[in-house]
Structures are given as C-alpha cells and as structure tokens.
Amino acid sequence: MSVVNAPAGRYNDGMHVLLDARPILAAKTGDRSYWLGLCRALPAAWPEWRFTVALDGAPEPGLLPDLPNLSVAVEPRPGGRLWPVVALPRLARRLRVDLVHLQYVAPPYLPCPFVTTVHDVSFALFPHYFTWRDGTWLRTLVPPSARRAAAVVADSETTRADLLRLWRLVPDRVRTLSLGLDAAYRPDAEQASAARAKWALPERYLLSVGVLQPRKNLAGLIAAYGRARAEHGLTEPLVVVGKTGWLAQPIFDRVAELGLTDHVRFLGYVPDDDLPGLYGGALFTLYPSLYEGFGLPPLESLACGTPVIVSTTPALAETAGPVAPMLPPEDTAAWAAAMARLAGDEAERARLAETGLAWAAAFTWERSARQHGEVYRAALGRA
C-alpha cells in the first residue's frame, strides 16, 4: 500500500473523513464529476476537518487541490470487484478515520460509520437496461448497504422518493443534496471556436452528451433526429459525446438503418477541457433520457449559455425543467418538431440561454460541500 501524506487519527480535533473517490481516475461520467467536485470543495468548506481520498491508482498532477487538510491514500487494486471489500476497510482501519463516504455498495465490514450516495435506482426500476452481471450485483448489494448506512445521500427528490418506496429506509436518514457545476462551465466564445476547430465541427450543430447506454434513449433521439431531417428540413448535424457503455450497439444500428451515417457524429469520450467548448458551440443540447437520478449534462449546457431540451423524466423536471422545454422521451414526433423549431428560432434560443444561465448559477460545489458536511456531522451525532 502507498499512502501519500495521510497521517492517522483526527485533524485539529475535527472529523477525519475517508472518501472512496475512485471514479475520479476514470473517464468522465456523472460519478466522476460528483467525486471530483466534492474532493475539491469539501476541504475548503470544512477547513477544521481532514479528508483523505481513497484511490486504487495515483491521480494525475493537479487533479486535486494542494490543501493542508486533503490527503490521498493509494491502495493498489486487488482485482475485480474486491477493492471496496478488502482495501477500503484496511484503509479506514489504518488511518483511524471517523467516517467513510462511498457510493452504492458498502463492504460487509467497516470499522466506522459510513455515508452512501445512491445517484439513482435505474438498476431496480429498469433491470433490462443492464447486463445480467452488473444488474444482479447492484440489486443484491445496494439495498442492504443503504439500510446499514448512517445516512444516505440522494441527488434529487425523485431518487429519494424511489429509495424510500423501494427499500423502506428511515426517512430522516435519507437526504436530498443538489450537485454542483465546475467553474469551467461558462460562456466562452473563444473556447467554443477552439472546440469546433479541434473536432472539425461546423458553425451550427446539435449536441447530445452522456454515456451510450439504453436508458439515455439515444436510439430514440436518433429516430427523432431522422424525422426532423425528413419531415421538417433540419440540416444541422447531430454530435454525440460520451463513452460507449453497456448494450450500446442498437444506437449505432439505428444510425445505419436510417441512413444517417453522414449526419450523426460520435466523438466518444472527450477530454474534460474540451467539453465546455463543445457545449458552448452548439445551437442547443438534447437530453431525452428515460430515467435519471439528477442529470448533470443539461445543467452543464445551461451554464455554458446553451439551451437544452430535456425529457419529462421527474428528476430532470427538478434540475432543468423550470428553464428548459420538456417533452415525453418516447414521443419522436414531438422531439423532431422541437428540434427543427428551435434550430430556426434564434430569439427563442437567446431567451432560453439567458434564463438557463441564471438558473445554473445556483448549482455550486461549494454549496453542495457544505450540505454534505452537515450530513457527515449528523451521521455521527454531532449536530
């Protein structure tokens, strides 16, 4: 085990929290954004506490801030899904932490209380959207982990209601905490121009951002995009950003079936630095997801000054619905008409961009970090 600057015990008589933030080493997803935002904001929000970030590999230089109350502990991966079962308890015991914060699945044993974040329960509500292995793993281990937790964090009231309904958790122990947005997501014409040049994109394009997996409804979006071209004369290309997830092949098949190969571009995973420019250069962003626990990409788009059309999924009604057009996710005719209409209405795009910027400004990691700290303190009876 390699432990970097991670002394054992409490820090200035305050709390010592171990953060299982391994997603920050992976390609950009909502999980990565969540942990990266918290790891950067928590030490500044709670300077009297110590935070140790538990990882299974060394982070790249500059990924985390250099703060006196933030440390990194690296425990090499023992293989497969054993890391949280073996390494996390070992680190918690060695460092004598007061609390562990993890997400979804907790190990059978930890030497201290833990808080778990459950971003969504799609694996329980839509099992057919998952591989058998992943779905079985989550459905078997997440519910008992949530029941054993000192507190459970949900990203939206929608997810909190699902947790209480499905697993009958104690209501007082389940808190809804909003996520935040990185400061990089802001209007920047030069950044948008650079992104268009780097990725060889035209001046006008539509954008979709998210992991390519069934519940994101990208096959449905592509069908609607095809109708918008055929029935409404839409000419702008559709640019899809996101790594290929599970059960993604039908998305690519739909593009081929509809003869849209020359009009739909898959950029795959793009570096963090490129994403704000890709948002900023788009006419608008499309997010037709069938289910979400929160939905960061719509807010990222709004923060960059780019309007977004979202589905009527309940969580998106909370996060973007007040300032974004909302459509039933499976109504391809409505999505096709909306795409063509918004592409041709510059005044409406400007109006939506202005209201979206004001709305997105309220979602900060500083605020989220303060809220998470209150949950930690309550979990240990330190209110």
Alpha-carbon distance of 132 to 41, in angstroms, equals: 36
Q: Please indicate whether residue 172 or residue 382 has the higher confidence score (pLDDT).
A: 172
Residue 141, token pair as written in the block: 């281990």
pLDDT (0 to 100) of residue 130: 83
pLDDT (0 to 100) of residue 9: 44
- Give the list of residues 6+ apart from residue 261 with CB closer than 8 angstroms, or none: 255
Q: Provide the residue type at 146 as one letter.
A: A
| Alpha helix stretches (DSSP H) within the chain | 30-45, 83-95, 122-125, 132-148, 157-167, 189-198, 218-232, 249-257, 275-281, 296-303, 314-319, 332-343, 346-360, 365-379
Residue range 33-44: mean pLDDT, rounded: 96
Sole residue written with tokens 């900060």: 364
Indicate the range of 40-44, 259-263, 268-272, 371-375 predicted with least confidence.
268-272
pLDDT (0 to 100) of residue 41: 97
In 10 A of CB 47, how many CB atoms? Answer: 14
Selecting from 3.90.79.10, 3.20.20.70, 3.90.650.10, 3.40.50.2000, what CATH number does the domain 2-180+364-379 have? Answer: 3.40.50.2000
Alpha-carbon distance of 337 to 231, in angstroms, equals: 9
Residue range 254-260: mean pLDDT, rounded: 96
Q: Average model confidence (pLDDT) for the chain? A: 92
Whole-structure pTM over 0.95, yes or no? no
What is the SS3 assignment for 53? strand
Asked whether the predicted pLDDT for residue 383 surpasses 50, the reply is no
> 288 and 335 in contact (C-beta within 8 Å)?
yes
What is the SS3 assignment for 8? coil
Determine the topology of domain 189-360 in CATH.
Rossmann fold (3.40.50)
> 139 and 153 in contact (C-beta within 8 Å)?
no
pLDDT (0 to 100) of residue 1: 39
* 37 alpha carbon, distance to own chain's centre: 10
Length of the chain, please? 383
pLDDT (0 to 100) of residue 83: 86
pLDDT (0 to 100) of residue 11: 41
Alpha-carbon distance of 34 to 112, in angstroms, equals: 23
One fold for 2-180+364-379 and 189-360: yes
Asked whether the predicted pLDDT for residue 76 surpasses 70, the reply is yes
Residue range 145-149: mean pLDDT, rounded: 96
Q: Please indicate whether residue 289 or residue 245 has the higher confidence score (pLDDT).
A: 289
Residue 344, token pair as written in the block: 């041709």
pLDDT (0 to 100) of residue 247: 82
Asked whether the predicted pLDDT for residue 71 surpasses 80, the reply is yes
pLDDT single digits (tens) 187-220: 999 999 999 999 999 999 999 999 898 889 999 9
Q: So where are the chain's domains?
A: 2-180+364-379, 189-360
Asked whether the predicted pLDDT for residue 10 surpasses 70, the reply is no
Asked whether the predicted pLDDT for residue 37 surpasses 80, the reply is yes
